[in-house]
Structure 1
Amino acid sequence: MSKVIVITGAGGVLCSTLAKALAKLGHKIAVLDLKFEAAEIVAKDIRSSGDEAHAFEANVLDKASLEKARTEIHKKLGSCDILINGAGGNHPLGTTSKPFLFESDLKDTTEGFKTFFDLDPEGIKFVFNLNFIGTLLPTQIFAEDMVGKDGCSILNISSMNAFTPLTKIPAYSGAKAAVSNFTQWLAVHFSKVGIRVNALAPGFFLTDQNRTLLTNSDGSLTQRGQQIIDQTPMGRYGEPEDLISTTLFLCDENSSFVTGVVIPIDGGFSAYSGV
């Protein structure tokens, strides 16, 4: 049965892949992104295959922007049945320069060098808000459409950072832990009105946001990139398509008794102790 699926952050690599996969099953896709141009590229690509999608500009940190998008979606597609909260990301202002603090670091005057003590509170707020508040606000706006209907669900995007935080990115790790906790809270809160809530926890996928952190300009791995591969039993980064099957399972009515779960898709990273 065709459903109206709203996807935030759908102009990005990962969520655009999910949008296209869900459209191929006959669902009507609302492609939401802060940049309308990015959303429209994805929507046009979907329509070129004969499937239905429309692009909408939406800021997941602005309730008025989301309400406007909801009104437009109702006119073009109908009310929301499934919400995928895909918007998120990290920021350099919430990132330390080194994984460990040494006493000598406190005297390092290199331009741009940041210890934990130098982290910008505004940068940390930005990362936390983008990932957590950027999940909460779209849920407030679109989940109301789902009350009283059958087969509705919400899929959040957490991270394997939520299980064990990575070095250097405390703001992002903390925000994704909040998303996982919120997923469980929502699953309980919405259980009496038939809305299931689950989350994906992707491991390492090369995207525009982390490409320079994990790979050099010639395509070779950075030291951090190599550490990740060495810690991943399957020995590779994830491909966007690796998220599709779990997404389809969690959004399908055949998983009607599955709610409140956070599923790692990480090539075994979170299961490996390193020895």
Structure 2
Amino acid sequence: MGKVVVLTGAGGVLCSTLAEAMAKQGHKIAVLDLKIEAAQAVANNINESGGTAIAVMANVLEKASLEAAKEVVNSKLGLCDILINGAGGNHPLGTTSNPHLLEADLENTAEGFKTFFDLDPEGIKFVFNLNFIGTLLPTQIFAKDMVGRKGCNILNISSMNAFTPLTKIPAYSGAKAAVSNFTQWLAVHFSKVGIRVNALAPGFFLTDQNRTLLTNPDGSLTQRGQQIIDQTPMGRYGEPEDLISTTLYLCDDASSFVTGVVIPIDGGFAAYSGV
């Protein structure tokens, strides 16, 4: 019998792929996203393929919005068995222009140029809230359905730069490190009530958020994009489908003794020293 799976940020490239994969396993899918049109498109694809899915608007930073979403999920699909916290992202205001600080940077007055000293606290707060609070609040709301029931689990989305921070994006790196730490904390906290908690740590996947940073309009790699490929032993970006098998394993009862792990899916990026 299929379980009820709730995915946040499920209108995006990666989590929509996971939603469709979970639906093919016979699960009932609640596609949550701030953009209801994107969520509806994913739900339509699932339903047209013979699966069961509903689209629900939810703001992962507003508890009232999540509570309203939970009422819809419970009334249309039932109690939540699996929660995938997929909402997240970065913001330009939490990003430096250069990977390293040079003395000359302090005199750079070019529009939009940012050193570490110019980072906007509001931009940093946005990134931390979206990734960490945007994982914590949905867990508070939907994990209540799981307490004391068998086969329930939570899957968070961390990042390989939670292990080793990337240059230029201190807010995102720190926020994802918080997600990894929170995953371990939750695994221990929920261990007595039958809820497992694990996380994926994707490497570099081309998404709508990073495509312009990693590729040029003609499809060739930017300098940063080439650096990433050179640092990835498998020599390519990840495909959304690369996340499916690990997701299915962690969300399945086959991993019933696995909790508190953060699994890199990065083509060997985190393991490579560059030498």
TM-score bracket relative to the smaller structure:
over 0.9
SS of equivalent residue, structure 2 residue 10: coil
| 1:148 CA drift (Å) | 1.5
Alignment of 1:111-150 (within 5 A): 111-150=111-150
Specify the alignment match of 2:163 in structure 1. Answer: 163
For residues 129 and 151 of structure 2, what CA distance do their matches in structure 1 show? 29
SS of equivalent residue, structure 1 residue 65: helix
| TM-score with structure 1 setting the length | 1.00
For residues 121 and 215 of structure 1, what CA distance do their matches in structure 2 show? 28
Matched to 2:86, the amino acid is G
SS of equivalent residue, structure 1 residue 6: strand
Q: Does 1:4 align with 2:7?
A: no
For residues 246 and 51 of structure 1, what CA distance do their matches in structure 2 show? 21
| 1:233 CA drift (Å) | 0.2
| TM-score with structure 2 setting the length | 1.00
| 1:175 CA drift (Å) | 0.1
SS of equivalent residue, structure 2 residue 244: helix
Alignment of 1:224-235 (within 5 A): 224-235=224-235
Across the aligned residues of Structure 1 and Structure 2, the Cα RMSD in angstroms comes to 0.3
Specify the alignment match of 1:188 in structure 2. Answer: 188
For residues 60 and 71 of structure 2, what CA distance do their matches in structure 1 show? 15
Alignment of 1:93-108 (within 5 A): 93-108=93-108
| 1:206 CA drift (Å) | 0.1
For residues 152 and 165 of structure 2, what CA distance do their matches in structure 1 show? 31
Q: Which runs of 4+ in 1 moved over 3 A?
A: none
Deviation digits for residues 144-178 of structure 1 (CA, Å, limit 9, x no counterpart): 00012100000000000100000000000000000
Deviation digits for residues 104-135 of structure 1 (CA, Å, limit 9, x no counterpart): 10000000000000000000000000000000
Alignment of 1:236-275 (within 5 A): 236-275=236-275
For residues 50 and 255 of structure 1, what CA distance do their matches in structure 2 show? 27
Specify the alignment match of 1:208 in structure 2. Answer: 208
Structure 1: tracts of 5 or more residues without a match? none
For residues 257 and 146 of structure 2, what CA distance do their matches in structure 1 show? 17
Aligned residues: 275
For residues 137 and 25 of structure 2, what CA distance do their matches in structure 1 show? 27
Specify the alignment match of 1:42 in structure 2. Answer: 42
For residues 73 and 83 of structure 1, what CA distance do their matches in structure 2 show? 12
Deviation digits for residues 50-84 of structure 1 (CA, Å, limit 9, x no counterpart): 10000000000000000000001111100100000
SS of equivalent residue, structure 1 residue 30: strand
Specify the alignment match of 2:31 in structure 1. Answer: 31
For residues 56 and 2 of structure 1, what CA distance do their matches in structure 2 show? 19
Q: How high is the sequence identity, in percent, across the aligned residues?
A: 84
